[in-house]
Structure 1
């Protein structure tokens, strides 16, 4: 019997690692159609279609985070930020509008719904992204877990940035500390008693990205936000699509003490943990200082850091330089912390 007939979908297939990519390639790429621009087959953060001398950028994202309220944010803030940030990763930092679809479980508290909607409204205002239309459905008790949100975003851009533009000699910048969101959600979910202020970084970063693009221009060659699969997942995608190797300078990685401690407690590398308010940006080396200065001048980019470089050797590989030696950084099979966005 064909093994595919026997296969069933698991949590790993929606978690941003190798298993999810394989599912998309095996099943959903059959939906791809040729477009004048970047379409489904590119497996980027969105699509970009040429309209006259500009680009129409479209992205969509669904959100199932549990718990729906956590330190630093909630499912409403993620739903707006995630879509705004995916547009920004394509170079489209000024959204024209967002849609919002809501699926509710029978019995979901109305007060919680109003709190989620208020958070969406505030985040959309922060991002300059009007919510212009939507849809609401209610499922029977037990047919959906509480609330599921989907948002779709549309924006226009003069230039599109993909996640496939790295070349040997380019450097990679991360716009701030890594692993904050996934660790904060995990700690709340499991009621872990950790010292310090462990909070999600969820935020719309289109303004931050706009500053980087203004400083670097066409020398900003690749961007991706390290959500599911974390920074490790992003680096593997960028390396594979760009046909380069990537060397990470581990000591330069910005990791908060609380995140590092939580990772050591449960045995999870912060490089594998999701962020919801950061970007990994590939830059030609000649413009790295300008981009870094622009990022650090923005409130959301104060800890921006050059942490990796692209090399011609070992295309597709990600190498971690610890300062004492080097080792391969494996691509995550699936997110170790499911339902974090």
Structure 2
């Protein structure tokens, strides 16, 4: 079995061999979290900004400042519509940033917030967004401590965009990472998948489908992550946002040079989400969540890990959805309900743009 240093060296060499982008212009697919996004990040940004802290491309960077180990993350939110069942761009911005810190094993502490507002945007809507952010920050026990505001011309900003940066505190001895996944490990999801992406899509009113009580799952998962980390054997946690669970697991397979074998029947999906996905021809595994995460846990502790998650209402439907395998490396396989097996590869296009 390869050592951790050997695995990291293989990842580094593979990324350095990445071809340059073939496209001459940015497309919507470059923001979808799939193959185009991966190429953009690795061929343009990582190629230029490469350093030891950035190299892992985790949900948050692991940095040391004045002897204190910190996690730092940044995100931008351009969801359309701004308000949707179960949430809005405000609590989405806070929860999304908190969750990136939490799944990195950090205790979230501080957030910055930058607003890009379109000329003519209603002040009443801005107040509503700010109040939502305030409630979300209070729930997550974080403080918004600095920010910025810019206004662009009418027709140039689609109402409101929000950028956030989050800082959290990491224990000195905590070591999580998707490259540490090993054959035999359990793959756990913290709850039903796809709620957020489908809720936002239906809220646009472009499809003749009633939401039928479906709401976004946007929520802070810091408490749930803390519960899980009390269990030994946790290898990694990842926030299943853009690209959904399938994209996260492709990242795991590639980083650890393993396979991931999923049981389609074990993946929790609400009937409303499944029905909408079937009508639209979308796989729920690729639909974004905003209050769910994927964890890789040593098999011996899988049962205890699920029990710890289910002890929290937010993780009441947590379950094991698959296992880490050895072959074929870098591949996610899905054992279907019909008895077959198919590859769940990275997405090429963007079936659900502007969902976060």
Q: What are the within-5 Å matches in structure 2 for residues 1-80 of structure 1?
A: 7-35=24-52, 39-51=53-65, 55-80=69-94
Residues 218 and 291 of structure 2 are in contact (CA less than 8 Å); yes or no, is this contact kept in structure 1? yes
Shift of 1:79: 0.3
Q: Distance in 2 between matches of 1:231 and 1:74?
A: 22
What is the Cα deviation at residue 144 of structure 1? Answer: 1.2
Q: Does the Cα contact within 8 Å between 2:187 and 2:294 map onto a contact in 1?
A: yes
Aligned to 1:209: 225
Corresponding residue of 1:198 = 214
Aligned to 1:185: 200
Which consecutive unaligned segments of at least 5 residues does structure 2 have? 1-19
TM-score scaled by structure 1? 0.94
Match of 1:273 in 2: 287
Cα distance change of structure 1 residues 334 and 247 upon mapping to structure 2, 3 Å threshold:
same
CA distance in structure 1 between the partners assigned to 2:64 and 2:335 by the alignment: 40
Deviation string for 1:197-231 (max 9, x for gaps)?
Answer: 11110111111111000123xx1101111110011
User: In structure 2, which of residues 272, 291, 297 is the aligned counterpart of residue 283 of structure 1?
Assistant: 297
Residue 9 of structure 2 corresponds to which residue in structure 1? none
Rounded to whole Å, the distance in 2 between the matches of 1:187 and 1:10 is: 23
Match of 1:176 among 157, 172, 191: 191
8 Å CA contact 2:202, 2:211 repeated in 1: no
Q: Hey, what does 1:166 align to over in structure 2? A: 181
Post-superposition Cα deviations, 1:85-124, rounded to whole Å, max 9, x if no partner, equal 00011100x2221000000000001000000000000000
Secondary structure of the structure 1 residue equivalent to 2:110: strand
* Cα deviation, residue 30, structure 1: 3.1
What is the Cα deviation at residue 329 of structure 1? 1.3
Counterpart residue number, 2:251: 237
Residue of structure 2 in register with 1:333 after alignment? 348
What does residue range 113-128 of structure 1 map to in structure 2 within 5 Å? 113-128=126-141
Q: Structure 1 residues 195, 49: CA separation in 2 closer, same or farther (over 3 Å shift)?
A: closer
2:121 maps to 108
State the TM-score, normalized to the length of structure 2: 0.90
Give 3-state SS (helix, strand or coil) of 2:231's partner. Answer: helix
Contact between 2:184 and 2:325, CA under 8 Å: does it hold in 1?
yes
> Structure 1: which 5+ residue stretches go unaligned?
none
Counterpart Cα distance in 2 of 1:169 and 1:54? 34
CA contact (8 A) 1:166 1:222 kept: yes
> Displacement, 1:33?
4.6
3-state DSSP of counterpart to 1:164 = helix
Whole-angstrom CA distance in 2 between matches of 1:4 and 1:298: 44
